[in-house]
Amino acid sequence: MPDSNRTMLVLAHTGKASALRSARLIIERLVAAGVAVRITEDEAPTLACAGATVLPVGPEAAKGAELVIVLGGDGTLLRAAEIARPAQTPLIGVNLGHIGFLAEAEPDGLGETVDRLVAGDYRVEERMTIDVLARDNSRELASAWALNEATVEKAARERMIEVVIEVDGRPLSRWGCDGVVCATPTGSTAYAFSAGGPVVWPEVEALLMVPISAHALFARPMVVSPRSVLAVELVYEGPGGRGDGRHEEGGRLAEGGRHAVTGKAVMWCDGRRRFDLPPGARVEVRRGSLPVLLARVHGPGPGADGGLVAVGGPFTDRLVAKFGLPVAGWRGRAVRAPGDGPPTLPGISGRETAGGHA
């Protein structure tokens, strides 16, 4: 009989046959180990798994669960985060996508991952989120959050947007651009990375602001304090080029009644939630009130003195593996006995690490 004290929610990318096969395997393995399993009603017909409890889609499905196991790419995990975050239930992802930075396990090690979860052999880490507020003067347009990033982007391909950016209540610069990315350290390897931003290790607490194709001399990626508040204001300009931000609904100046001439913009949160922004809108980004919890089964790596260290190594290995970074010739600083050969990274043989020498 299932242990009523242990419950796990399984979510999958039901459009992928590999995700369905893996989800069924996980559910069967969990049920056999005495763990109560939940699935959502939108996925239940496709999964067709006996022994699982079917619940409506939403945060209640994750409430009280020990873990949410997610099968798919980072997009699937971001969808799962919308369910797990309000319940503060940890997520663990099995990567069935392309890069899959948020995912912890690969399909080849699925059985071992499930066994370690059943044994409670995992740790939970907090990932910083951002809270996002969009306003049009005093009118609230949207209140949202993101794990990776919030972006303000042009809505029309043929027209840039003009923005003034702000940090901690003070204006910093004005750009004509395709958009601006405001990201977390977790999101530094997502959209912000594609826009030329820095890679920030997950343990670092910071906020990033990265312009997209900005036409300005000072338009560099910035890393600021996690206590800072970032803001992006869409410059409102009428035919006379006033740029004072005064306007009424319908895109008219408060004085004179002339239509505005400006690029339309949209705001995206994690590339999943879209909000239209009128000319003159203001988007504020600050540290989120609730983190996203991610479970990790991979343990710490070896330190220089032969002991174990809990920081640095796992994410470094992830970067090397995901981007196929060249590390041939690396020998490391760990003390090894004669004849042990060079150290290795996960997925990289000693021959490759040693630059081809046997």
The sheet with strand 130-136 has its strands ordered as 139-146, 130-136, 282-287, 230-234, 161-167, 170-177
What is the CA 356 to chain-centroid distance, rounded?
36
Asked whether 238 and 256 are in contact (CB, 8 A), the reply is yes
Burial class (CB in 10 A: 0-12, 13-18, 19+), 338: exposed
Q: Residue 79's closest CA among 100, 58, 104?
A: 58
Catalytic residue among 74, 136, 178, 270: 74
Separation CA 351–CA 342 (nearest Å): 9
Compute the half-sphere exposure of residue 127: CA atoms within 13 Å on the CB side of its CA: 30
For 17, 193, 358, the CA distances from 43, given in Å and listed in that order, are 13, 32, 50
Q: Assess whether 168 carries a catalytic annotation.
A: no
Q: Residue 273's closest CA among 124, 65, 131, 84?
A: 131
Beta bridge partners of 70: 11, 93
Q: Residue 101's closest CA among 301, 318, 317, 296?
A: 318
Residues, the chain: 358
DSSP assignment string, 281-324: -EEEEEE-SSPEEEEE-S--EE-TTSSEE-SSHHHHHHHHHHHT
Kindly state the helix (H) or strand (E) to which residue 174 belongs, with its residue range: strand 170-177
Tokens 């919030």, residue located:
150
Asked whether 334 and 309 are in contact (CB, 8 A), the reply is no
Which are the catalytic amino acids?
A: 74
